[in-house]
Structures are given as structure tokens and as C-alpha cells.
């Protein structure tokens, strides 16, 4: 069983995926993101080595938006909830001392 992700976007380094997610979150278009990614030397190397040099297309980003980006959004929401819980003042618990 091969556990490596198969898609072009999911095979990119995590810092690039993070940037993609932020760009999607801020409404950047698939075309703009694809053009940007395809211009990066590290992306070109990965595409040459693992995908026969075929560039990233808007369709690749559309598929990422449905899965990887949605997971990223969920993880951010969860992190915000946890952070909010940590910042809430905790009620003082008084132990009663019965003689």
C-alpha cells in the first residue's frame, strides 16, 4: 500500500502548500496560482521528476480546493477553537476542608 499522496499539489513541499492555501483563502484565482507555481524552479523540478514535466493546471488546484484546502480550513478552525479555550480564564476551584 502506497501512502504517498498522488496529486501534484499534495506532493509539493508543505511551505508551498501553505502559501497556496493562503492565496486560495484570500480569493486568488486558480490561473494566477498555477502560473505562479509553474514559474518556481522547485516546482518545475518536481514536475519533471514525478509528472513527466506536465505543468500544474487549474484543474489540479480545483481538486486541491475540494480536499487539501478544505482540510487546511478545518485545521485552522480547530486551532482557533483550541487557542480560544486556552485563553479563557479558568474558574477557581476551592477545595473545602472539612475537619
Indicate the average pLDDT of the chain: 88
**Mean pLDDT to the nearest integer, 31-39:** 98
Predicted TM-score (pTM) of this structure: 0.78
65-78 per-position pLDDT tens digit = 999 999 999 999 99
Q: Which residues contact 38 (CB under 8 A, 6 or more apart)?
A: 44, 47, 55, 56
Contact 63, 33 (CB under 8 A): no
Q: Which of 4, 17, 1 is closest to 60 using CA atoms?
A: 17
Q: What pLDDT is recorded for position 3?
A: 52
> What is d(CA 95, CA 33) in angstroms, rounded to the nearest whole number?
58
DSSP, res 4: S
Note the helical H segments in the chain: 14-25, 30-39, 41-50, 58-66, 68-87
Q: How confident is the model at residue 29 (pLDDT cuts 50, 70, 90)?
A: very high
The crossing angle, in degrees rounded to 10, of helices 58-66 and 30-39 is 110
Amino acid at each position: 500500500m502506497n501512502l504517498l499522496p498522488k496529486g501534484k499539489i499534495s506532493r509539493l513541499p508543505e511551505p508551498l502548500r501553505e502559501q497556496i492555501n493562503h492565496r486560495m483563502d484570500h480569493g486568488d484565482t486558480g490561473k494566477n496560482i498555477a502560473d505562479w507555481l509553474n514559474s518556481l524552479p522547485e516546482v518545475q523540478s518536481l514536475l519533471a521528476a514525478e509528472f513527466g514535466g506536465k505543468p500544474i493546471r487549474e484543474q489540479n488546484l480545483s481538486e486541491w480546493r475540494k480536499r487539501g484546502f478544505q482540510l487546511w480550513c478545518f485545521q485552522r478552525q480547530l486551532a482557533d477553537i483550541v487557542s480560544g479555550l486556552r485563553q479563557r480564564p479558568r474558574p477557581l476551584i476551592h477545595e473545602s476542608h472539612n475537619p
